Structure 1
């Protein structure tokens, strides 16, 4: 068993209200797989040292991490969006601990140039880079002797704990939680949309389908326990990211929906139809197709619950926190080969 230091934006203060975050689930998975895990929130350390301004405390965060690793002597250092940590700090820690392995994970989209730049900042001082996008976009992270791979958004039934697949009459038919609905525009089925306009158009094509829309039309966006409460009010979850043309990219909303037993609706172009069937998810290629399927499932709760239950079971089988955490460890130590896990794209 390993000693693991996991550096990410853990919700240790009121500035971070995400109960469903990937870092929580991965650390749960590491622990449940028998490893000793030490969590560190780089941003909170930097913010505290910088009198509320994390950039002013960045140097302190790097010093703290190096001392933390000297104290705990981890076998594995896991970096999840640890943007406060410099590459030279990671190199120094590796010099302190020559047997250390290092892996970075990232669940932001690769169509954001700034995100690509952040990944590349540390790619030469880590052993593996795991990203929630598969396909050709991963090629830019291929390095000799280092692994790049797809990271599924993990699900954890201690976090996604509702069973909406067993609720015949939820308060709403559909939920779509959307921060920043106006800018940038989202490309849905090949058309750029302000998401309030999209929702209005969808409602016009699916009359009678009730849609809960936190973050839009003057409703506040939900976080933490309030967000979980929102998920527990609907039977179908609309999963629309800003683009769908990056293979298997989705925000981690997909895990929230499916883990809580909502029937997830996602564009076919994402490629998730290669892992799930039409009896486990709603796939659509046009607004008309989406509206038609929403009307069908809203009027057929037994069919909706059966499809949602099947999708939930498949998602948990494929992407549960223990399996994804095991994959992170195996990738860090270079022990993953194509075909070892039921998702694609391990590059060396």
Structure 2
């Protein structure tokens, strides 16, 4: 199938990139056997704009996408967080090419008002909308053009290559007992929980929090090295309680063999096997479970290895990409996707 993937492909990062779900989707589409053309709206806008001022290139970028569709003749257009592309441009694509299917993807939380508005806007023009929150919580967008689908946070076997579960606690390559990376402070009170953990965990418990408490944020290879050197990871979302919603860090940590602690309110036990993710419902239960696995290294390695194996086998980016294609195009499913209910 011929696919145009419109998103921020980070071409101007010159290698110093974030771990990007958009790039994982692109490589997953290619691995699934599709002919995929990447259209990076932010990079095109900067290239086309006077003085490289991105906003000044917005109009030209929309015209370039129309030009690209004419030349490439895709069967499917997959759109991500491409805020520089207007709905009117996708309406023009549909008018000129009524057989093209448009699938929109959004990996940000519903509790951020601007993001919920973006999802609602794309639901007006897309045929299918894929969101990293479960379908139960997507009913607020029901009644628009787009069908509503959940999409998970996938691992990429070429990105999540480390395996901390294979290392014993006394291995010198493991420099961190618990890792939590964050730089977002809006719409959240998770900083209070992190502060309380720092106060109550034993003095010799190596709890590292890049991006918080005046510590520098980690990007690119620095972040990858940190993941590979950590035993356990804390998956704190800015707000909890949304069905199957998580920051993309859940796949980054699980895929690299860290033992992942996540709030029970996310209901990941709907499709995750037992003895994979570790669930908690508050500070006391989190602290107790952290110490439990900290003092039982065989248990830590066993759970982390099972979780890593499950993510790489069942929530990898090839299956993820093919699920998006099959759902958007109303094709028979080629795999028993674990997150489908």
Bin for the TM-score computed over the shorter chain: over 0.9
Cα distance in structure 2, aligned partners of 1:259 and 1:285: 23
Q: Partner residue of 1:311?
A: 307
Contact 1:263 1:281 survives alignment (8 Å): yes
- SS of 1:266's equivalent in the other structure is strand
Q: Does 1:205 align with 2:200?
A: yes
Q: Cα RMSD between the aligned structures? A: 2.0
Cα distance in structure 1, aligned partners of 2:200 and 2:263: 17
Q: Is 309-318 or 170-179 further displaced after alignment?
A: 309-318
Matches within 5 A, 1:36-115: 36-50=35-49, 51-115=51-115
TM-superposed CA distance for 1:128, in Å, is 0.4
TM-superposed CA distance for 1:55, in Å, is 2.0
Q: Partner residue of 2:238?
A: 242
Query: Cα deviation per residue 1:91-137 (whole Å; 9 max; x = unaligned)?
Result: 11122323211100000001111111112222222110000001432
Cα distance in structure 2, aligned partners of 1:273 and 1:15: 39
Q: Partner residue of 2:127?
A: 127
Contact 2:75 2:100 survives alignment (8 Å): yes
Using a 3 Å threshold, how does the CA distance of structure 1 residues 221 and 81 change in structure 2: closer, same or farther?
A: same
Cα distance in structure 1, aligned partners of 2:278 and 2:302: 12
Number of equivalent positions? 334
- SS of 2:261's equivalent in the other structure is strand
Query: Cα deviation per residue 1:162-206 (whole Å; 9 max; x = unaligned)?
Result: 1111111311111100113xx3252xxxxx44x1x4323113322
TM-superposed CA distance for 1:76, in Å, is 0.7
Cα distance in structure 2, aligned partners of 1:93 and 1:276: 39
Contact 1:127 1:333 survives alignment (8 Å): no
Using a 3 Å threshold, how does the CA distance of structure 1 residues 250 and 292 change in structure 2: closer, same or farther?
A: same
Contact 1:131 1:151 survives alignment (8 Å): yes
- Alignment TM-score, normalising by the size of structure 1: 0.90
Cα distance in structure 1, aligned partners of 2:212 and 2:43: 29
- SS of 2:13's equivalent in the other structure is coil
Q: Partner residue of 1:332?
A: 328
Q: Give the one of 269, 275, 293 matched to 1:273.
A: 269
Contact 2:126 2:145 survives alignment (8 Å): no
Q: Partner residue of 1:6?
A: 5
Q: Give the one of 287, 298, 305 matched to 2:283.
A: 287
Cα distance in structure 2, aligned partners of 1:185 and 1:97: 40
Q: Is 88-97 or 138-147 further displaced after alignment?
A: 138-147
TM-superposed CA distance for 1:316, in Å, is 2.2
- SS of 1:18's equivalent in the other structure is coil
Cα distance in structure 1, aligned partners of 2:140 and 2:331: 21
TM-superposed CA distance for 1:53, in Å, is 3.0
Cα distance in structure 2, aligned partners of 1:200 and 1:138: 32
Cα distance in structure 1, aligned partners of 2:287 and 2:141: 38
Q: Give the one of 244, 249, 259 matched to 1:253.
A: 249
Q: Does 1:175 align with 2:179?
A: yes
Cα distance in structure 1, aligned partners of 2:337 and 2:273: 19
- SS of 1:334's equivalent in the other structure is coil
Q: Does 1:232 align with 2:234?
A: no
Cα distance in structure 2, aligned partners of 1:112 and 1:102: 24
Structure 2 alignment gaps of length 5 or more = none
Cα distance in structure 2, aligned partners of 1:247 and 1:88: 32
Structure 1 alignment gaps of length 5 or more = 187-191
Cα distance in structure 2, aligned partners of 1:157 and 1:66: 33
Contact 2:123 2:144 survives alignment (8 Å): no
Cα distance in structure 1, aligned partners of 2:217 and 2:291: 25
Using a 3 Å threshold, how does the CA distance of structure 1 residues 216 and 126 change in structure 2: closer, same or farther?
A: same
